[in-house]
Amino acid sequence: MPDMLDSHLLIAGEAVSGGGRDVHDVLDPATGERSGGVVHATAEDLDRALEAAARGFRTWRNTSADERTAILMKAAGLIRERAKDIGAMITREQGKPLKEGIGETIYCAMLLEFYAGEIKRLYGRTLVRPAGSRVEVQYHPVGPVAGFAAWNFPALNVMRKIGGPLAAGCSTIVKPSEETPAAGLALVQACIDAGVPGDVVQCVFGVPDEVSTHLLGSPVIRKVTFTGSTAVGKHLAKLAAEDLKIATMELGGHGPVLVFADSDIDKALDTMAAAKYRNAGQVCVSPTRFLIEEDVFERFRDGFVERAEKVKVGPGTERDTDMGPMASARGLERMEGLISDATGRGAKLLAGGTRIGNQGFFHQPTVLSEVSTDAEIMNEEPFGPVAILNPMKGEDAMIEEANRLPYGLAAYAWTRDPARRRRLAAEVEAGMLGIDTGAVSAADAPFGGVGWSGYGSEDGREGVLACMVTKTVHEG
Ligand code: NAD
């Protein structure tokens, strides 16, 4: 596999770089220093990619289900074989511990394997009609897809942009984040190496808004799929609406965690503290607002602080590191602003609170408590290693607070009461609800949010259907 220190474009199966194209630095978040470069596409490159995507769509949609399944299974196998190398690229460019980078890559293979299997189950249906007439509901791939992925999961976010479309029979042009280009590019290369035609899966980089404006301005693209902030998601949804392109938006969240006095507190603490500091909190489903029944507040608070203080922060390349640096200096600045705003409004700082050293982008695992609802951090996704612990009085108030924000991605609850579990499942507004678990993502389960967390699903059968349209054929 080529070393992707300097990431190129993959257009119509060809590695494209040089020729006077702009090259931008990629930084290693553990040092803050340059680790490689990323080539930016020109407008002509993007036009060539669009032409190829139109060609590729015609080829791929007419490739048999058996062949598409076999090719995607082979690609998944190559991704598994290359997981150590791809994991190392993730750590070098995004900062997370190597074991997490490798795990993320394996998860990409699992997702592709699931999608490959789904190809054979994309049935339509025949409706009941009198003899001599019939009505058939068919599913067809929507057309070429443009995908834009964020830097927090450099591989998984890209796989979510290409796996569903490829399974559905669409061609796809993906733009991984320019801050973390290598792993996404390596996944696209694995698909090509396995036999996906180069016109069908392509990878570009550039100035994000220029690339999306160019691609979404073309009638060739019929669907856009984006992972990132709500602000950019709204912008891209408007661009998509101008040409009535369909869209999947996987945007930010503000994960509430409802901790009830009847729960297994030690298990809740172990699970949720690990979930909070995973990937330095830069996870769209990160648990953020802990709403804790007052009877167990002190116990939960003290247990959480104890665990936060034990998290080993260091470079992702070191074996015993639990939490790497934040991915960029932007994340550190954001944390500083949110924490000082919260403490200025009376929040208690119980652990962490500041950057570590001045090399790289390391931040202390942080715990705030008794944070007032008007603090910025109670309303905006912190996307960093900070937990907010607030005491609450009773189930109704906890559900009301969980539903207060316009976001609704992941929510969590800890309770042993079966009737309460059902009430929470009915009333908490979220795309995913984890009850007595921190795991809310699986290859065969739809992943996505409601409200300002976006719309449409990735993963699961829904992730393929999101790239398909129906055609009803009525025969008299
Ligand atoms: P952002 O939305 O500006 O960027 C996220 C990704 O989108 C980046 O990789 C960027 O290259 C790309 N992007 C930005 N503008 C684009 C455009 N016009 N067209 C196409 N792609 C575009 O977010 P950020 O500045 O990286 O982070 C800010 C906040 O966004 C975070 O603090 C967090 O709240 C949220 N975020 C959420 C997720 C998620 O998983 N849902 C991921 C990253 C960021």
DSSP-derived secondary structure letter, 357:
S
CB 142 within 8 A of CB 171: no
* Residue that the structure tokens 């991915």 belong to: 327
The DSSP annotation for 269-326 comes to HHHHHHHHHGGGG--TT-EEEEEEEHHHHHHHHHHHHHHHHH--B--TTSTT-SB---
234-290 confidence digits (pLDDT tens): 999 999 999 999 999 999 999 999 999 999 999 999 999 999 999 999 999 999 999
H/E stretch holding 43 reads helix 43-61
Task: Check pLDDT > 60 for residue 2.
Answer: no
Ligand 1 probe mutation, 96, 229, 236, most atoms within 8 A of CB:
229
* Residue that the structure tokens 């900070």 belong to: 386
Task: Check pLDDT > 70 for residue 444.
Answer: yes
Quick one: pLDDT band at residue 5, thresholds 50, 70, 90? confident
| CB 212 less than 6 A from any atom of ligand 1 | yes
Q: Which of 28, 1, 25, 4 is nearest to 316 (CA)?
A: 28
- Find the 227 Cα to ligand 1 centroid distance in Å: 7
The DSSP annotation for 23-36 comes to EEEEEETTTTEEEE
**CA gap 227, 150 in Å, rounded:** 6
One of 3.40.309.10, 3.80.10.10, 3.30.70.20, 3.20.20.70 is the CATH number of 255-442, namely 3.40.309.10
Pairing between strand 172-175 and 246-250? Answer: unpaired
Q: Which of 455, 425, 400 is nearest to 289 (CA)?
A: 400
Provide Rg for the chain, Cα atoms. 23
| CB 383 less than 6 A from any atom of ligand 1 | yes
Burial of 21 (0-12, 13-18, 19+ CB in 10 A): middle
Q: Is the four-CA dihedral 445, 446, 452, 454 of positive or negative sign?
A: positive
Task: Check pLDDT > 70 for residue 3.
Answer: no
| CB 217 less than 6 A from any atom of ligand 1 | no
Q: Which of 209, 155, 208 is nearest to 182 (CA)?
A: 155
Q: Which of 247, 252, 275 is nearest to 409 (CA)?
A: 252
The mean pLDDT value for 452-464 works out to: 97
Quick one: pLDDT band at residue 26, thresholds 50, 70, 90? very high
Distance of CA 253 to the CA centre of its chain: 11
H/E stretch holding 141 reads strand 134-141
What amino acid is encoded at 399 in this protein?
I
- Residue 344's φ and ψ, nearest 5 degrees, are -60, -25
pTM score, whole prediction: 0.97
For the chain, residues classed under CATH 3.40.309.10 are: 255-442
Give the pLDDT of residue 4.
57
Q: Which of 54, 101, 448 is nearest to 250 (CA)?
A: 448
275-296 confidence digits (pLDDT tens): 999 999 999 999 999 999 999 9
CB 207 within 8 A of CB 130: no
- Find the 39 Cα to ligand 1 centroid distance in Å: 19
30-60 confidence digits (pLDDT tens): 999 999 999 999 999 999 999 999 999 999 9
3-state helix, strand, coil in the chain (%, to 5): 40, 25, 35
Distance of CA 284 to the CA centre of its chain: 7
- Find the 208 Cα to ligand 1 centroid distance in Å: 10
- Find the 155 Cα to ligand 1 centroid distance in Å: 15
Helices 83-94 and 181-194 cross at an angle (nearest 10°) of 160
Quick one: pLDDT band at residue 6, thresholds 50, 70, 90? confident
| CB 151 less than 6 A from any atom of ligand 1 | yes
212-229 confidence digits (pLDDT tens): 999 999 999 999 999 999
| CB 152 less than 6 A from any atom of ligand 1 | yes
For the chain, residues classed under CATH 3.40.605.10 are: 5-251+453-475
108-161 confidence digits (pLDDT tens): 999 999 999 999 999 999 999 999 999 999 999 999 999 999 999 999 999 999
> In ligand 1, which atom is closest to the CA atom of 383?
32
Domain 5-251+453-475 = CATH 3.40.605.10: yes
Query: Which residues does the annotation mark as catalytic?
Result: 250, 284
Alpha-carbon distance values, 193 to 77, 78, 159 (Å): 11, 8, 16
| CB 93 less than 6 A from any atom of ligand 1 | no
Alpha-carbon distance values, 7 to 12, 195, 269 (Å): 16, 21, 41
